[in-house]
Amino acid sequence: MVVAIAGVLIAVAAINLFPSDTQVARREASEMALALEGARDRAWFGGRPTAISLNEGRLREWRLAAQTWTGASEQPLPSDLRVNTIYVDGQPLDPTKDKLLFLPDGFGLPFRIALDIRGQAWGIESDAAGAVTVIAP
């Protein structure tokens, strides 16, 4: 009986300690979506445009002040996450030099970011009202 209980506990612990690729991918896509929502909210509540760039393995947040974009914060992207494409209002955005813009009025152009996380295709999209959604494979 003790061995059976120990076996069940080990099985439950193993599931929690070693998440599947899908669980890790969902978490990483959700964290990126939260960062995008945070930038959107800071633009809205801060009253000035905020932008995000996704290049060089980093997610950088920028703020517009006195007609100049200044870096506000940055965080490294997970090593197993790759940004494949970014589309804004159906048009491709060059992630190496363009920024994803959030306006202070809370509205913006719809966008879609295609991600590759651990070999799985995930996505993040937003509508014109600013709702950000993670798209599973």
The answer for residues whose C-beta is within 8 angstroms of residue 107's C-beta and 6 or more apart is 128, 129, 130
User: Per residue of the chain (137 residues), what is the pLDDT tens digit?
Assistant: 778 787 777 777 666 677 788 888 999 999 999 999 999 999 999 889 999 999 888 999 999 988 899 888 999 999 999 999 999 999 999 877 889 999 898 778 899 999 999 999 999 999 988 889 999 88
Question: Residue 120: beta bridge partners?
Answer: 117
Residues 86, 93: contact at Cβ < 8 Å? yes
Q: What local confidence, expressed as pLDDT, does residue 65 receive?
A: 84
Q: Which sign, positive or negative, has the C-alpha torsion 57, 113, 43, 70?
A: positive
Q: Which CATH superfamily is domain 21-135 in?
A: minor pseudopilin epsh domain (3.55.40.10)
- Strand 91-93 versus strand 81-88 pairing type: antiparallel
Residue ranges of the domains in the chain?
21-135
Would you state the pLDDT for residue 15? 63
Give pLDDT, residue 14.
67
The candidate with the shortest Cα–Cα distance to 117, out of 27, 35, 37, is 27
Instruction: Supply the pLDDT for residue 108.
Output: 80
The reported pLDDT for the residue numbered 52 is 93
